[in-house]
Amino acid sequence: MVSKLFLVTLLAFPMVNLPKAQAASCNPSIVSNRELGSTISPEMLGNLYARAMLNIAKVAVLENYGTFEDAARDIVSKAEGRGLESLKSRAKNFNYWQKNNRISNADFSLVASLMGLDQAELAALNLAYLANKGDPSISFSEAIFKIISKGDNLTVVTSGQLDQLLGDFPSACLQKIPKNQLVNLINKLNMAVSENLNDVSIDGEYVRFAQTSLMHMPSLKVVKTKYDPADVDSLHVGFRLLSEVGGSFNSYRDSNAVIHSVSNLETIKHFHKFYGLSDFAVLNKKEKTLTFFDESARVQKRITIDIASTDDRMNAGGAGIYYGLIDKGNTYYAKALSDRGMREVFKSRQGQVIRINGPLYILPQDTGAHKFRIKNKRLAFSGYQFYRKSRNLNYSIESNTKFKLEIRHSYKSKFVADYINTLEKEKSRLMQILKVDNDDYNILAGFAIGVLAPESDFGKNWKYVLKEFLPGAVSLAKGNGLDTSKNSRGPTQLKVIPEEIMEAYGISKTNLTDPENAAVATIAISADFLKQLRNLGVNHKAINEENIQTYLYYLYQGKRVQIKEALATPDDNLAIRKIVAVVKGLEFLEY
């Protein structure tokens, strides 16, 4: 008898440092054993186990999870059904990098049952779990990690690679056995093993029960192409910005609204023509073409290539912004801008040698879901309706760009001038505290000024003056006694102030009559509403990045349902029309 530890080690770690197994024979024969009754051949049980593990790895790869624990947290949080409460509680703490919080073999099997695996594959995986049951220090999740992790200077494993490997472990011949019978046979085997764990042993590559072979364990290996980091060029996109010569944010936003309404290709060309100082190439998967452009967005040449996948997800070499093209044979790899991972992007034909002096843009297959846009004077790739972050798509919207701001206006009031001046001088600090980028800050600043109009007529409305003079009377009228804490305060009538702003600036509701405090608090709460609006706005198809400022006031007034149920019509809202009129009368200059 070979040791139990060797058994669980083989079952948990068959994947990485072994040569890839040849396709196992497709033998659906049923063997008999006095203790077990009937069961399918050990080769097919091994194939089913291999397919289960590879399909699990494929889910992790396509969704760009770094570890199985990362995948499990998301999968369990979205799962519905009875009896999941305990697993949901445990899943919150799953963390591959903390050994005490690595997913247990038992929970691994539970999560696998939620991943839509074939029932026969799941049953075979459960058999492997049962064989592991005697040694909880062995983790199946580490086996998955060794398949999906990219490591230093290795290309990312693709779904195409896993599909090829899945083909080495056939299951089609099992169709000769009725599916219910097949699953029933494996489950009976599971029961026998669970009741007789001491009789399970390993002999070479076989799992045996007493003298009967149960499972022939195939080795799994995904080839991860190595590359020399010195061969990877940096992202050659020029840094010529309109704002460097005195830029109007108003005209920048207006021109973006126009260019974003046309095709992705035209947006890319527009960006390079007016902002970027580099050549570039565009890959069109539908046409299987790679088109080369010079720095002025003029076509230089077009060639035909082969693609590995039509999928838009990043680990399928999907749409987005790539750079640092390298080749291995006729296969070309590039780094995704989103996470800097090196991925296969296309194959050349007839031994062509391809070089790209600049970024590579891969157009999306689903143009209704994904969009290239200009943001913060950079080219970004994100969701069609809103700027989004995404783990599994090459969405690239981050930018540390910061420009000083001057807001020109025609207001004579010192109160309004001080309010606007605060938004100018505190821009850099507030961007850092609120975690908003340059373009979003300017949008929020415009809204924060505009909202003065409907809320207090720029601090001049008699009702506002009276409410600030007699806050106790307001609370009494609202049935709150002398408790004024629930009153809306300040010229923008704020009910709450974000905690980080209260701590950083010492602002409270009692000192919001100060224009500097009011400006900081208003843009801070508006930043929170902007994040909420991008989440809720998917329910209202009329809302997009070009008009998002117009819909902010619905959340400002607590009318979330208007957004959630797509009832918001800002053109019919008098208060919003006032805000829009104010914003149009402002000029935002960046330098």
For the chain (length 591 residues), average pLDDT per consecutive 10? 34 31 48 63 88 94 94 94 91 94 92 91 87 66 90 88 89 73 84 82 74 82 88 76 69 94 96 88 97 95 93 94 92 93 91 88 96 93 93 90 93 96 98 96 98 94 73 57 65 93 93 95 98 95 96 96 96 97 96 87
Q: Which residues contact 314 (CB under 8 A, 6 or more apart)?
A: 64, 320, 336, 338, 339, 341, 343, 392, 393, 394
DSSP 400: -
Q: What is the per-residue pLDDT for 11?
A: 34
Domain segments of the chain as ranges: 4-216, 233-243+251-379, 405-590
| Amino acid, res. 291 | T
- Residue 154 DSSP symbol: B
Q: What is the pLDDT at residue 240?
A: 62
What is the per-residue pLDDT for 17? 29
**Helices and strands, number each (H, E), in the chain:** 22, 17
Query: What is the Cα–Cα distance from 382 to 403, expressed in whole angstroms?
Result: 23
User: CATH fold of 233-243+251-379, please?
Assistant: L,D-transpeptidase catalytic domain-like (2.40.440)
**Do residues 124 and 312 lie in contact, with contact meaning Cβ atoms separated by under 8 Å?**
no
Contact of 16 with 221, CB cutoff 8 Å: yes
CA distance 129 to 135: 10
Cα torsion for 168, 174, 179, 183, to the nearest 10°? -70
Q: Are 139 and 106 in contact (CB under 8 A)?
A: no
Q: How far is CA 295 from CA 232, 357, 533, 565, in A?
A: 20, 10, 37, 45
Per DSSP, which regions of 398-456 are E strands? 405-408
- Residues 337 and 232 sit within 8 Å (Cβ to Cβ): no
103 burial type by CB count under 10 A (0-12 exposed, 13-18 middle, 19+ buried)? buried
Residue 281's nearest CA partner among 266, 263, 300 is 300
H-helix or E-strand containing 324?
strand 320-328
Integer CA distances (angstroms), 40 to 29, 167, 211, 497, in order = 6, 20, 16, 66
The Cα 489–Cα 464 span in angstroms is 9
**CA atoms of 122 and 283, how far apart (whole Å):** 39
**What token pair was written down for 407?**
């807001």
Quick one: which H or E segment has residue 465? helix 462-469
- Residue 486, number of CB atoms within 10 A of its CB: 12
Long-range contact pairs involving 7-10 (C-beta distance under 8 Å, separation at least 24): 7/131, 7/132, 7/200, 7/201, 7/202, 7/207, 8/131, 8/132, 8/134, 8/135, 8/138, 9/138, 10/202, 10/205, 10/217
Rounded-to-integer distance, Cα 118 and Cα 100, Å: 30
Task: Tokens 């040698």: give the residue.
Answer: 353
448, 423 contact by CB (below 8 A): yes
| Distances in whole angstroms, Cα of residue 104 to Cα of each of 201, 341, 399, 423, 534 | 22, 29, 39, 52, 37
Question: What amino acid is encoded at 148 in this protein?
Answer: I
What's the alpha-carbon Rg for the chain, to the nearest Å? 30
Phi then psi dihedrals of residue 118, to 5 deg:
-60, 140
Predicted TM-score (pTM) of this structure: 0.85
Q: What is the DSSP letter of 202?
A: E
Amino acid at 166: L
How far is residue 354's CA from residue 204's CA, in Å, rounded to a whole number? 47
Do residues 144 and 68 make contact, with C-beta atoms less than 8 angstroms apart? yes
User: From CA 140, how far away is CA 143, in angstroms rounded?
Assistant: 5
Query: Where does residue 53 fall: left (phi above 0), alpha (psi -120 to 50 degrees), or beta otherwise?
Result: alpha
Q: Which residues on adjacent β-strands are paired with residue 209?
A: 200, 212
H-run or E-run covering 563: helix 560-564
Question: How far apart are alpha carbons 61 and 54 in whole angstroms?
Answer: 10
d(CA 124, CA 47): 9
Pairs from 425-428 (Cβ < 8 Å, separation ≥ 24): 426/519, 426/520, 427/402, 428/402
